[in-house]
Amino acid sequence: MIVLGLETSCDETACGIVESGGKILANHLYSQIPEHAVYGGVVPEIASRAHLEKIGIVVDTAMKEANISPEKIDLIAHTRGPGLMGPLLVGTGFAKGLARKWNKPITGVNHLEGHIAANHLTFPDLKPPFLCLTVSGGHTELCVAKPNFEYEILGRTRDDAAGEAFDKCGKLLGLGYPAGPLVSKTAAGGNRDFAPFPRGLRYNGQADFSFSGLKTAVLRYVQEKGDEFVQQNLKDIAASLEEAIVSILVEKSLLALKQSGQDTIAICGGVSANRYLRSEMDKMGQKNGFRTLFPDFSLCTDNGAMIAEAALLREENGFRVSEHKEVVPWLKLG
Ligand code: KG4
Ligand code: ZN
């Protein structure tokens, strides 16, 4: 079976083509970073227009990359939420048009299930149940992925997401957009104890998160110390910021592993590309006897292959959600 997946929930226009067994035939995307960088964040209207402009060429390029004709596609999948309303509508509308033109079935996919599916692509033998930490620009969530596509949510952020914390705090430090990868790059070799940034909800005994206090703390720190001091000590401040975010992600993951009785944690979402998170999570796993999994770097941030794989896994297990193909910007897992 071959599935074509479209992803347009935020600022990546993406198309992936995946065959049974997790074989990626194509994974092409257009990143809208240049469009949004001048504004320092994603502008929903600009994102919608850029998706409209690029989606046709992105699908064409993916089909060429896969070197297949439309007859070979068995199912068209698209992200139906969560995400920005306009961008979701563009992808969904395009998917519907494609399905009608090629006379194919169509199915809507939960973007968060797509991120989890990135781990299935990387580890084809991965079977539920396992613990999952989703860390992206819009979500920070710990859940148990159970058989039959059921999810038990153990905790999620009460305010900002981890990626948002990286982006907004990085912006306060004068780094570009998106700041997440730049904070990580700047932090390399820095002193992680330099600035005393808080770890939200550290001692509440629950697997939930809060990053809004960190944002306020970084703002106050920058205001108090002044731009010159910040720029002179940027490496150490970025390292302290990365430490504050990564350490709480690792601590809460350990708590959730113990509370849930799972022996494996699969981390996914854009922030799972963070190398310090990967090494700290691996250290925690080795020390406590847990298996820690990360997707291939190319599958961490939004892409079409993860959407195609999520649909493929459901389809092959008799769980197609074709009746749910309308857009739901606030869609949740579980
Ligand atoms: O999953 P994703 O592409 O989009 C959403 O679904 O939100 O995640 C994007 C987020 C951004 O906040 C970006 O700054 C963050 O992932 N990110 C990183 C790294 N690479 C991407 N954050 C920290 N370190 C990285 N290396
Ligand atoms: Zn995402």
One pLDDT digit (tens) per residue for the chain, 334 residues: 999 999 999 999 999 999 999 999 999 999 999 999 888 889 999 999 999 999 999 999 999 999 999 999 999 999 999 999 999 999 999 999 999 999 999 999 999 999 999 999 999 999 999 999 999 999 999 999 999 999 999 999 999 999 999 999 999 999 988 999 999 999 999 999 999 999 999 999 999 999 999 999 999 999 999 999 999 999 999 999 999 999 999 999 999 999 999 999 999 999 999 999 999 999 999 999 999 999 999 999 999 999 999 999 999 998 876 555 689 999 999 7
Q: Is the dihedral of CA 79, 80, 85, 91 positive or negative?
A: positive
Separation in Å, CA 107 to CA 175, 251, 255, 285, 299: 39, 37, 35, 36, 21
Which of 12, 111, 166 to probe ligand 1 with, by most ligand atoms within 8 A of CB? 166
Measure 187 CA to ligand 1 centroid, in angstroms: 16
Q: Which residues line ligand 1 (CB under 6 A)?
A: 10, 136-138, 163, 166-167, 178, 180-181, 184, 269-271, 273-274, 301-302
Instruction: Ligand 1, residue 245: give the atom nearest the CA.
Output: 23
Rounded distance, CA 231 to CA 42, Å?
Answer: 25
β-sheet bridge partners, residue 144 = 131, 152
Instruction: Ligand 1, residue 269: give the atom nearest the CA.
Output: 1
Element containing residue 288 per DSSP (H, E)? helix 275-288
Q: Give the three-class secondary structure for 77.
A: strand
Which of 301, 302, 307, 333 to probe ligand 1 with, by most ligand atoms within 8 A of CB? 301
Measure 180 CA to ligand 1 centroid, in angstroms: 6
The structure tokens listed for 124 are 């084809």
Measure 180 CA to ligand 2 centroid, in angstroms: 14
Measure 44 CA to ligand 2 centroid, in angstroms: 15
Q: Which residue's alpha carbon is nearest to atom 13 within ligand 1?
A: 180
The structure's pTM equals 0.96
Instruction: Ligand 1, residue 83: give the atom nearest the CA.
Output: 6
Measure 8 CA to ligand 2 centroid, in angstroms: 10
Residue 291's identity, in one-letter code, is R
Element containing residue 144 per DSSP (H, E)? strand 140-146
Element containing residue 28 per DSSP (H, E)? strand 23-31
Instruction: Ligand 1, residue 300: give the atom nearest the CA.
Output: 1
Measure 111 CA to ligand 2 centroid, in angstroms: 6
CB 104 within 8 Å of CB 29:
no
Tokens 């970025």 correspond to 238
